[in-house]
Amino acid sequence: MFDLLPNQLPWFVAGPALGLLVVALFGLANQPLGASGAYVQTAGWLRRRSGIATWRVWYFVGMFLGGLLVTQVLRDDSPVRSGYDALRDAFPLWFVIPLVFTGSVLLGYGAGLAGGCTSGHGLCGTAQRSPASLAVTATFMTTAIVTTFVLGLVTGGAL
Amino acid sequence: MKLNVLGLISGIAFGGILAGARLHEYDTIHSTLSFEDPYVFLFMGSAVAISAPLLWWLERRGTETPLGGTLALSRAKPEPHHLKGGALFGIGWAVAGTCPAPALVMLSSGALLALVAIPGIFIGLGLRERQAMRDLERSVLGQKTTNPKTPAR
């Protein structure tokens, strides 16, 4: 709408801002900023389970709204598109959909098993100097880099 | 109530920062994991470089948080499920080019393939939850002793 923000904030602005947000949530509520936990709590809330941390459901909604604010109000992103530019250039849509779905199920299952994802372990866990989170982060970084390398080989450099 | 408001505000801030950094784009994640552009490493690294010393200091001075008692950081020991889960998460992250928080921003950015990614993440987390429940039931019945895994955070 307004196009106030650059296409991509420099890392030295976005990264420290995220670091301060992590500190703020710990300092105010003694809580980590984990996104996969928000999914679990939101799924439980939708099924009307008891003992739900409702603030994590609000947090889930907030992430969507924050994205909406930046991409649709403060910056001029196109309103509707498929996303996945490089992947869509390399493959037809009928292949991209099951690929993205399979990857998403796998990362969801993995996050559940590890007890957190890039935010819960990668950011907040490492910031707390938790050995388990450091181990999870080192592991997912390694398998992600290897998987990306293999994808590049399999697609003959298209990815 | 106050915690819900804080949850909403921190969600908006987190989603906004991820959108500002374009972490909801496949190309951003993929170009970092293929070592073409170190952006995501620098983004995550600088976030931890800022928060780790501040959290250490806040814990050391015994900070009383307004909504959550005395600040206490968690330091869990690595267990096999951490490594297995981390390994699978990394493969999925590289293939799908997204993770739980950026997938929500992908949807609000108008990228419709987020409607494939988000249900996939819910299904994956749900599959793990069902498996954990079955393991718990089995260990309660005493047929097999498995520790119930800690829930995702």
| CB contact B136 to A (< 8 Å) | no
pLDDT in 10s for each residue of chain A, 159 residues? 788 888 999 999 999 999 999 999 999 999 999 999 999 999 999 999 999 999 999 999 999 999 999 999 999 888 889 999 999 999 999 999 999 999 999 999 999 999 999 999 999 999 999 999 999 999 999 999 999 999 999 998 888
Buried b (16+ CB within 10 A) or exposed e, B70-94: ebebeebebbebbbebbbbbbbbbb
Q: What is the mean pLDDT of chain B?
A: 93
ipTM: 0.96
Q: Do B108 and A71 touch (CB under 8 A)?
A: yes
Q: Do A18 and B47 touch (CB under 8 A)?
A: yes
The reported pLDDT for the residue numbered A157 is 86
Residue-by-residue DSSP string for A9-50: --HHHHHHHHHHHHHHHHHHHS----HHHHHHHHHHHHTT-S
Confidence of residue B143 (pLDDT cuts 50, 70, 90): low
The reported pLDDT for the residue numbered A125 is 97
* Residues B83, B85: Cα–Cα separation, whole Å: 5
Q: Is the pLDDT of residue B130 over 80?
A: yes
Q: Do A108 and B44 touch (CB under 8 A)?
A: no
Residues of A in contact with B146 (CB under 8 A): none
Q: Is the pLDDT of residue B150 over 90?
A: no
**Partners of residue B70 on adjacent β-strands:** B64
| CB contact B144 to A (< 8 Å) | no
The reported pLDDT for the residue numbered B16 is 98
DSSP state of A129: T
